[in-house]
Amino acid sequence: MDKVAIVGVAQTKYEKDKIEQTYLELVFEVVNKLYNQLGISNDDVGSVITSSNDFNDGRTIANMAIQDAVGSVRKSESRVSGDGAFAFIYGAMRILSESYNTVMVVSHSKCSEGDQYLINNSIFDPFYQRALGLDQVSTAGLMANMYMTKYGITQTQAAQVVVKNRKNALNNPYAHLQEDITVDEVLDSPMVAYPLKELDLPPFSDGAVAMLLTNEEMAKKFTDNPIWFKGYGSCTDNYYLGNRHLTNLIGLEGAAKQAYQMAGISDPINQIDVAEIYDAFSTHELMGYEALGFCDLGKGGQFMESGATQMDGSIPVNPSGGVLSSNPTMANGLIRVAEIALQLMGKAGKRQIPNAKIGLANGMNGICSQGNIVLIFGGE
Amino acid sequence: MIYEAVDSALKDAQLEPKDIDAILIGNMDHFEGINFSEMWTGVEAAPGYLKPVMKVATGGTTGSSLGICGYHYVASGIYKNVLVVGWEKLNEGGATTGIITAFDPVWERPSLAGALGPLALMASMYQAKYGATSEHAAMVTVKNRSNAANNPFAHLQMPNITVDYVLSSQVISYPLRLHDCCPQSEGACAMIYANEEEAKKITDTPAWFQAVETAHYYTYGTDDKMYDLPTATIASKKAYKKAGIENPIRDLDVAEIYEPTSWSELAWTEALGFAEPGKGPVLLEEGITQMSGELPVNPSGGVLSTNPIGATALVRFAEAAIQVMGRGEKRQVPDVEKALGMGFGGSLWTEIAIFGKEPLR
């Protein structure tokens, strides 16, 4: 399915508190960067898909505020309420339906302006669950505890994920937390939601990401090395945590199977050169390895120890530093796509994986990988 | 409530939940105070478990943005069918409280926030420019609310409503009176889209998408003159071209437009090319947009009768499709070949879909 290409990406630096910029200015920054990089103007963009979340932006119809910034006056913009990787697939569909030749996809979050506990607590059932104090942190603790207990995953194995990703982030000029930390530092950090400690969890970040998609004919006009959309799958798990397995990410597994089928991938470890996965907390990345078929169920910890997902391993995961290093929530999935595009373009600078030809990115909506999307890209 | 709509749609298409490829949800989650509402409704009220579920939310246009997204889901070739569901339960939240937060907190919230403030300003400017009267606006309400009496799904059904009744209602925001304004409704609308091969298995009389178009506008509504709706002109012209419509009054058989106020229908039927600028009232005076007229507008009763926000614009698409399928019963316009559905929302955005008895080749 070599019909949709990514021809350029732009990101802001992800930071704790971009107090000098409104969220529409964050969006304008990445749109402007993308335009300058590709030498294009509003007229070259057929349609725009944005991703954002009203609760996070503190405004309903949150995309209203960014119309001027994305240059959608007199043309079509639509907004996916949720993770940016879903905005990517909607943008790709607009090209596949032959409705537009070019689509710009943009996502942003400015987490510093909201109370993240209240925002995430509002995802839960108002009568039975909100009062329990559930949010994405406490549920991550529940999930981590069940997963680690069932499969004998150790806190050290979990800490290795954090060490890897924060260290990788040192090579990524856009990353928020760039830290050369040790396993002991992770293990000694204050307990937040047992068994997850402060350093097992991501920061909250401000930032935005944009990219331009084109059809096959247009791609060569913009770049010599377009990145091609090869595979897609999406799968949704149960809403109520009590109805979920919590020890394995069956939604992510379902999405991966569909994406692999579309992209003709039967042996992910050998066929995929680099992966940017949604690591919402340390053990979540381990569960991701399993769901994506990189290792067997329950073997995520051992797979981490094997070094396979390190920068020089057989399948480097999150060379960018992942969500554990930069977490502008709604943008996370689209950042994963952008980072894979940079890897396959050979433009990832110090975080470049040599000769990366096939890459995987995934996004997530809701709590503990309820809504999942997996995307496969290729450089040729 | 959402399950009721989903279940009815599945039964109507004689499909099982397992037959559905993907779910699209439309809802303004600020209004009911539920974040990621699609993660709950998509699997609890719709058959989204272990399937793709995504939400599209663009304010008043939510339903049409959703309706258009569904088109791309199938037209892209990725899915053979999709279940599209828009809903709102406004008494559990506050529409105006929610909508006020759409506006810039520094520049616009103190002066031009919520839905009715800007719509009143638009009505006032339209009135001042073209001299339309409150009586003209009241005629729109009378037409739409009496049409609603033929629509079993409509919220406000007023078969005996009169112009005097509308004119004697309380002023809400000049020149809008209570009965110039849409109600706050609760409800859900579900549609099933399928590709050509699948559609044949489901029905002999599908309604085909012939064009979908969107035009957005400046972040600040007041960055433009507000007496007309330029995005309706931009989007409808593109859609007419795609669907081979030269003269909308002649070539369209029915239109379901998004009229949040009576005045909006006067001005926006002009923007859609049904009348020259300033001549919207003539459409009513000459009966052109009445049920028996040349181009009936809002046989369902429109937004003035029913407004569950996340569903409202999808209801326009659904009612236009129902007319093309010939299933409008007491509200059916005879011999519909082409129908228009319109969504309005955000900072003066318009979305258009044209449905026809045959697919465009």
Q: Which residues pair with A371 in a beta bridge?
A: A236, A365
Q: B69: which chain A residues are within 8 Å (Cβ-Cβ)?
A: 78, 90
Phi, psi of B199 (to 5 degrees): -60, -40
In a domain, A86, yes or no: yes
Query: Are the C-beta atoms of residues B182 and B311 closer than 8 Å to each other?
Result: no
In a domain, A372, yes or no: no
pLDDT in tens, B301-347: 999 999 999 999 999 999 999 999 999 999 999 999 999 999 999 98
Specify the pLDDT at position B133. Answer: 97
Within-domain flag for A275: no
Count of A-B CB contacts under 8 Å: 177
Q: Cβ separation of B55 and A66 shorter than 8 Å?
A: no
How many domains, chain A?
1
Q: What's the confidence (pLDDT) of residue B25?
A: 98
A174 located within any domain = no
pLDDT for A66-96, tens place per residue?
999 999 999 999 999 999 999 999 999 999 9
Does residue A30 lie within any of the structural domains?
Answer: yes
Hey, is the C-beta of A99 within 8 angstroms of any chain B C-beta?
yes
Look at residue A45 and tell me if it is in a domain. yes
Domain ranges, residue A35: 4-115+204-222
User: Mean pLDDT in each 10-residue stretch from start to end of chain B (361 residues)?
Assistant: 98 98 95 93 97 97 98 98 96 84 86 86 96 98 98 98 98 97 96 97 97 92 85 98 98 98 98 98 98 98 97 98 98 98 95 96 77
In the prediction, which pLDDT does B2 show?
98
> A67 in a domain, yes or no?
yes
**Would A358 be classed as within a structural domain?**
no
Q: Do A61 and B57 touch (CB under 8 A)?
A: yes
pLDDT at residue A320, rounded to an integer:
98
Average pLDDT of every residue of chain A: 97
Contact at CB, A94 and B76, closer than 8 angstroms: yes
Domains and CATH numbers, chain B: 2-94+182-356 (3.40.47.10)
User: Residue B55: which of A55, A72, A81 has the nearest Cβ?
Assistant: A81
Residues of chain A with Cβ-Cβ distance to B87 below 8 Å are none
**CB < 8 Å to A229, chain B:** none
Residue B112 touches partner A, C-beta closer than 8 Å: no
Percentage, residues of chain B above pLDDT 90: 87
Residues in chain A, pLDDT under 50: 1
A83 touching B (Cβ < 8 Å) = no
Q: Is A28 on the interface with B (CB under 8 A)?
A: no
ipTM beyond 0.95?
yes
CB contact under 8 A, B39 and A366: yes
CATH assignment of the domain containing A88: 3.40.47.10
Q: Is B49 on the interface with A (CB under 8 A)?
A: yes
DSSP label at residue B261: B
Contact in structure between B119 and B264 (CB atoms under 8 Å): yes
Q: What local confidence, expressed as pLDDT, does residue A2 receive?
A: 55
Chain A residue with Cα closest to B26: A81
Chain centre to alpha carbon of residue B189: 11
